Chains A and B, each alone.
Chain A
Amino acid sequence: MINKALFKQSCKANWIKWLTVTIATCTMLAIVIIVLGNLAINDIRDSLKEVFAQADQEATLKEDIIDSYDLYLSAVDGSNQIVIGVDEMFDEYDKAKEDYQSATGAPPTGEALSGIQSQVAAGVIEQFGDLLSSSGMTQEELQASIIALLGIYDFSPDMAKNGAISTITAMLPTQIEQLAQQQKLDEGATQEEAELAGQQAKEIAETAIADYLAQSKTENFVYSQNLFTANAATYVNDMMYDQVYEMQIEQGVSEKDANINAVAVKVISNTAISTYQIWQQTYSEDGVLTDEEKTAAKNEATKSISDQIPDKVAVALEELGNMDVYGLIIGSIFYRIAGLLLPMVFVIMTANGLLAGQVDSGSMAYVLSTPTKRRTVSVTQMTYLLFSLFAMFALLTAVSVISVWIVGGNNFAINFSEILLFNLGAFLTMFAIAGFCFMCSAIFNRAKYSLSIGGGLTIFSLVCTILGLFGSSVVPSAMRITQMNFFNYLSIITFFDTTDILSGSLAWLWKFGILLVIGIVTIIIGIFRFDKKDLPL
């Protein structure tokens, strides 16, 4: 099927072209990989990424800060409600006793008193049931202790009041801890994280309650949340400072640096809380916000950079940060465009010269005036074309693998298996193009038709890929014109998708299959057509 003499003749006629193209392409590839491997082109990208990561971190931090601040105020509020509740309880008790006295003319004693006491106790349990149950006492025990408290109230009202308040408020932190822990768990945090958050909440609550109790003992005390906002802010700011400082020291950072970092966090904390406070002052006189207002205030206070710039710009910047520069330059630009150009020129010229050129000039007559079958001629020429292409890409593969090895092997942005797949894809693309050019060369008797159809469509494909690049996902949206993606549908190179390979999807498998089929079918058509057509020799 293959004629040795003809094969040699084709080698002699085309080796200079082959050598030039191979050397040029290999050199380009080596330079691209080695230069990229040694330049820190990802620096800008990394810093952009860092900015966004920091902004997100800061936003989360601010959220935690606002939560803590809010928790402080809630705890104060909770304490105040307990005090009011306790007052109400004793007021009710007094009133019940007075009612009894005015009805019977004598203060209640014995069974009557204990009846009133158990009635009041039931009301209290109903009001503070949730909170009281966190103490771990049963219903009966609770009832008994309240009744005992009321008994104490009969001869020492202040002592009973103080006792009740300190007992119940002491239960509040535990409840808050449990709530915070549960919430964290619901958010999907680990047990350890939840416990830590619960503990922190408990500490905040304890401080807030202590603060409340201390202030409530001052003269002319009238409860308002506003009284506690300053203390809450100070407490949370200091807490953030302490946390960061301790963590940094633990991590082995010097005291000075730890201080600087902790202060920075404290500033962030202060900023967030100040923003939140402005909302509080603006929206309500007593500093209490509705849930809706709280969310709005929180959003405002926790805004990060990405929230402050317009959405489109934010997306563009974020994409720029996420852009894979190596994948773009080596995959989409070199293997799909720049690296294909010279092999394409080689294939267009060689495929044309192997059949159509020789038929057009008439030199094919010398081969066909010997007992050589047309089939042998076409198969030999096709074999030469594929062989030369294969040899070219074998060298290119070797150069690419060596270059990647030089710049760090698998530590390089593009690893060995990816670079091997790039080479395979580029070869299969060239295989399909070679098949098409060979078919044109076999069909047409005039070199100009073979060149303009085979070469024209090939270059058209390449140009479409260049234009399509500006519409494809590898280009950041700031530079992307989605409509340009249309050009990708006009190019055979679209079946060689480097983003598939980089993203680890297996879609390249069927696309490579299509390229292989295109190459084989066009070659078969070419061989059969060459057998049957008229040759003007």
Chain B
Amino acid sequence: MKNEIAIKVEHLTKDYGKGRGIFDLTFDVHKGEVFGFVGTNGSGKTTTIRHIMGFLKPDSGDVQVQGFDAWKDAPHIKSFVGYVPGEIAFPDLSTGTIFLKNQAELLGIKNMDYANSLIDKLQLDTSANLKRMSKGMKQKTAIVAGFMADKDILILDEPTTGLDPLMRETFLDIILQEKSKGKTIFMSSQMFDELEITCDRVALILDGKIIDIADVASLQDPTHRIYKIEFTNQNDYEKFKKLKFKIVRDQQKYFQVTIKIANSSINHLFNVLKNYQLKFISEVKQNLEKHFKDILTSQRHVKIVTSEELDKTRKQRKIERKTLKKQQKLQKEDKNDK
């Protein structure tokens, strides 16, 4: 049961030109698995989801959902797939109630019990005017619309945006509950922590390519701990390094080491440290965010440029250009003087 494949993406490519799009994506989502999809804005998360939903036709490669081609059999696939779109825009209807009723009709649902239980859980007032709903309310309405048919596979495109922290908790509870029912969930997000809580596996996508697929359970290795230790002087630091602890990271500048140690050896470590002058010691939690950051930094060819950095470089370039022009002007004036 666990190894049955619910969503299969093979060599999926959609090239929008200028480096945008998705390129040669390959991954599987197993039945009953919660699969996370993380990446910066514009990295290709939504494009991948649109392919799974059969809204876009692949340039090459293919997507299969429970063995059916996502593009050709799109209407059939929808009979076991629920979807929460990333962009929230509702049809031109007056209230949330009317919208959900209409949606139920389209889905062929007669019993609204499950939908009502979702509404209660999310504390949603469906009688509100669709156009005047806040972002969070719209998101909740979209979640109810996506979940109410109780489909086997759920595709969620950044489902927690706009939700307040409490609601996010509730939503994550719902996800876990669905997971316990054996549903396959494919969700994209920018929040590592919520993926960490819910997902079995998380894929990192950058510039349209999958960089890594992490197994969340194995990241959080329960048999080992990681500690960061900083010494007050160089002597102690050098001495400690000679001991046979596994050093994960070494920062000479600060007399700082990070070590990985089996749970059984913790007492040994503290006994050793009794004799050293420490500035501090802290446990480093190994999490998804760190894992991916490590991967990104270790892969030198991949350079993450944040928008702030981009702005900076633009400004720098502008300044450079200006100075260059000034220099040229000066040179010209010099020549003229001569």
Which residues of A approach B to under 8 Å, CB–CB?
A: 3-6, 8-9, 12-14, 353, 358, 361-363, 365-374, 532, 534-537
Contacts and interface: CB of A to CB of B under 8 A. Distances in A.
Given A8-B102, A534-B55, A537-B53, A361 B89 contact: yes
Contacts of A372: 75, 78, 106
A534 B85 contact: no
Given A369-B53, A370-B107, A13 B83 contact: no
Interface string B78-118: 11011101011111111000110011011110000000000
Nearest to B87: A362
Contacts of A361: 87, 89
B156 to A, nearest CB: 11
Contacts of B103: 366, 370
Nearest to B85: A365
A121 B133 CA distance: 126
Contact of A363 (B83, B89, B105): B89
B56 interface: yes
Contact of A12 (B50, B89, B90, B98): B98
A369 B82 CA distance: 7
Contacts of A373: 75
B322 interface: no
21 contacts: A9-B91, A9-B93, A9-B102, A12-B93, A13-B91, A14-B92, A365-B53, A365-B55, A365-B83, A366-B90, A366-B106, A368-B53, A368-B55, A369-B85, A369-B146, A370-B78, A370-B103, A370-B106, A370-B107, A373-B75, A532-B57
Contact of A366 (B50, B55, B108, B145): B145
A12 B102 CA distance: 11
Contacts of A371: 75-76, 78-79, 107-108
A13 B87 CA distance: 20
Contacts of A353: 92
Q: By CB atoms of chain A within 10 A, which of B55, B56, B103, B108 has the most? A: B55
A363 B105 CA distance: 16
A16 to B, nearest CB: 10
Given A5-B105, A370-B107, A358 B78 contact: no
The 8 closest A-B CB pairs, nearest first, are A13-B92, A5-B105, A369-B83, A361-B89, A362-B87, A362-B89, A535-B55, A370-B106
Contacts of B146: 369
Nearest to A359: B55
Interface in B34-68: 50, 53, 55-57
Nearest to A8: B102
Size bracket of the B interface: 20 to 34
Contacts of A365: 53, 55, 83, 85, 87
B57 A3 contact: no
Given A362-B87, A363-B89, A373-B75, A5 B106 contact: yes
Contacts of A4: 105
A392 B338 CA distance: 85
Contacts of B57: 532, 534
A537 B92 CA distance: 16
Given A368-B78, A370-B103, A372-B78, A363 B55 contact: no
A354 to B, nearest CB: 10
Q: By CB atoms of chain B within 10 A, which of A4, A5, A13 has the most? A: A5
Contacts of B107: 370-371
Contacts of A6: 106
A368 B77 CA distance: 11
Contacts of B102: 5, 8-9
B208 to A, nearest CB: 16
Contact of B85 (A8, A358, A374, A537): A537
A530 to B, nearest CB: 12
A532 B72 CA distance: 10
Nearest to A375: B75
A250 B35 CA distance: 109
A9 B90 CA distance: 11
B93 to A, nearest CB: 6
Interface string B148-166: 0100000000000000000
A197 B98 CA distance: 89
A363 B92 CA distance: 9
Contacts of A534: 55-57
Contacts of B108: 370-371
A22 B181 CA distance: 53
Contact of B50 (A3, A14, A536): A536
Contacts of B87: 361-362, 365
A246 B279 CA distance: 141
Q: By CB atoms of chain A within 10 A, which of B53, B57, B89 has the most? A: B89
A363 B93 CA distance: 11
Q: By CB atoms of chain A within 10 A, which of B90, B94, B149 has the most? A: B90
Contacts of A5: 102, 105-106
Nearest to B14: A534
A360 to B, nearest CB: 9
Nearest to B151: A369
Contacts of B90: 363, 366
Contacts of A367: 91, 106
Contacts of B93: 9, 12-13
Contacts of B98: 12
A536 B75 contact: no
A363 B56 contact: no
A3 B106 contact: yes
Given A362-B89, A369-B81, A534-B57, 15 more contacts: A4-B105, A13-B91, A13-B93, A361-B89, A362-B88, A363-B89, A363-B91, A365-B87, A366-B99, A369-B146, A370-B106, A370-B107, A371-B75, A374-B75, A537-B50
Contacts of B88: 362
Interface in B171-216: none
Contacts of B85: 362, 365-366, 369, 537
B101 to A, nearest CB: 9
A532 B74 CA distance: 12
A535 B102 CA distance: 22
Contacts of B149: 370
B106 A358 contact: no
Nearest to B54: A368
Contact of A537 (B55, B82, B94, B106): B55
Contacts of A14: 92
Contacts of B89: 361-363
Contacts of A3: 106
A536 B19 CA distance: 18
A362 to B, nearest CB: 4
Nearest to B105: A5
B334 to A, nearest CB: 54
B91 A366 contact: yes
Nearest to B157: A365
Interface string B275-314: 0000000000000000000000000000000000000000
Q: By CB atoms of chain A within 10 A, which of B92, B94, B145 has the most? A: B92
A395 B36 CA distance: 56
